[in-house]
Each structure stands twice: as structure tokens, then as C-alpha cells.
Amino acid sequence: GGTATLNFTRTGGFTGGLTIAASGAPAGLTVEVPTTPVTGTSATITVRPAATVAAGTYPITLRVSGTGVPDQTVTLNVTVTA
């Protein structure tokens, strides 16, 4: 497994919580995002591949949303090695 840090740039005085959702992971690849809204400027994303996940690179979409601000998406490329 491994981790990645997702950094946020807050503009316009926005201080509200941000919710992160992950999609696109293949079966056996667990992507853990914070379960409560993030109020800081970064969040840790944890990735845990099962032994059954084939080696390769997998694009995971992370969607960040907050009340009153547009949703943002970013692609996290997760590389699984044998």
C-alpha cells in the first residue's frame, strides 16, 4: 500500500469543510479518503491493493466538493507492482 497527499488552495475566503470521494478503482484496490469533511489545506489518501490486483497503473478520480463552491476533480494514478 501507499499514501498520497492531496493539497487544497482555498480562495475567496472559503473556510468550509471539503468532502472527498474516490471512483474508478478496480476490484481489490481500496482507496481510503477522509470520512469527515476536511477543514485544513491537505488530506491523506491511502491506497491498499489486494494480492489479486494485477500489476499496472490505475487512474483513480478524486472529486472534492464543498458547500457553495464548484466541485473539483483530479486524477490520481496508482501504480501496482508485482
Proportion of the chain in helix, strand, coil states, percent, rounded to 5: 0, 60, 40
Check residue 52 and give its pLDDT. 94
Please give the grid coordinates belonging to residue 32. 481510503
* Percent of the residues in the chain that have a pLDDT greater than 90, as a whole number: 88
Helices (H), 1-63: none
Check residue 18 and give its pLDDT. 96
pLDDT at 73 over 90: yes
The answer to whether the beta carbons of residues 47 and 22 sit under 8 Å apart is: no
Gap between the Cα atoms of 32 and 28, Å rounded: 13
**pTM of structure:** 0.90
Check residue 12 and give its pLDDT. 87
